[in-house]
């Protein structure tokens, strides 16, 4: 019975979860592995799985948390690349600094702030969508995004102070 339910959820939502993992991880193979791991976790907790209406948000939340943790762990390890990517703009140094700053900002905040920030700022979700995906209220999303913005301002100010010393 439980295996049938997991198989049904995988058939129904597997492509959406793979897409989510791929968007966050930016790696097809890692996204495949993450999708499998997400559904292993679903299987472990199938007794607590919500009905079909809320199941996608529940699995989406599991996949988001899994991918964010994978990104955090990946960020701790240097990965060699065969060649450098093309410069995205006339000022590649600025683009690299912006990307580096964004990664440092996201890595420095607690998980409860990181997930809403990525869903809102990176994925472009509306606050209400973020709330449904994470299973929290819209007010909580607003508060966590505000906290993220405050932390980001303080971090950027500290970086500017260090740079001018």
Answer yes or no: do 72 and 1 share one domain.
Answer: yes
| pTM of the shown model | 0.53
Give the pLDDT of residue 112.
86
78 within 8 A of 35, measured Cβ to Cβ: no
Confidence of residue 30 (pLDDT cuts 50, 70, 90): very high
Answer yes or no: do 97 and 71 share one domain.
Answer: no
Confidence of residue 14 (pLDDT cuts 50, 70, 90): very high
Confidence of residue 161 (pLDDT cuts 50, 70, 90): confident
Q: What are the tens digits of pLDDT across the range 76-123?
A: 554 555 665 554 555 556 655 655 666 677 777 888 888 888 888 777
Show the tokens assigned to 86.
């093309």
21 within 8 A of 35, measured Cβ to Cβ: yes
Q: What is the CATH number of the domain that holds 61?
A: 1.10.1740.10
Give the pLDDT of residue 92.
59
Answer yes or no: do 42 and 110 share one domain.
Answer: no
Give the pLDDT of residue 90.
58
The mean per-residue pLDDT over the stretch 137-142 comes to 94
- Is residue 82 included in any domain, yes or no? no
106 within 8 A of 114, measured Cβ to Cβ: yes
Answer yes or no: do 110 and 154 share one domain.
Answer: yes
- Is residue 6 included in any domain, yes or no? yes
Residue 40 belongs to domain spanning: 1-76
């Amino acid at each position: 019975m439980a295996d049938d339910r997991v198989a049904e959820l995988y058939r129904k939502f597997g492509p959406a979860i793979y897409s989510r993992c791929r968007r966050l991880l930016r790696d097809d193979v890692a996204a495949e592995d993450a999708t499998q791991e997400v559904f292993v976790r679903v299987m472990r907790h199938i007794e607590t799985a919500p009905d079909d209406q809320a199941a996608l948000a529940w699995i989406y939340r599991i996949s988001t948390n899994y991918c964010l943790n994978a990104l955090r762990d990946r960020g701790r390890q240097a990965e060699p690349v065969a060649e450098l990517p093309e410069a995205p703009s006339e000022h590649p140094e600025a683009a690299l600094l912006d990307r580096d700053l964004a990664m440092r900002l996201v890595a420095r905040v607690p998980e409860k702030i990181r997930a809403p920030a990525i869903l809102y700022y990176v994925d472009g979700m509306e606050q209400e969508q973020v709330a449904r995906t994470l299973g929290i209220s819209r007010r909580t999303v607003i508060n966590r995004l505000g906290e993220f913005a405050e932390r980001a301002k303080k971090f950027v100010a500290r970086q500017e102070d260090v740079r001018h010393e």
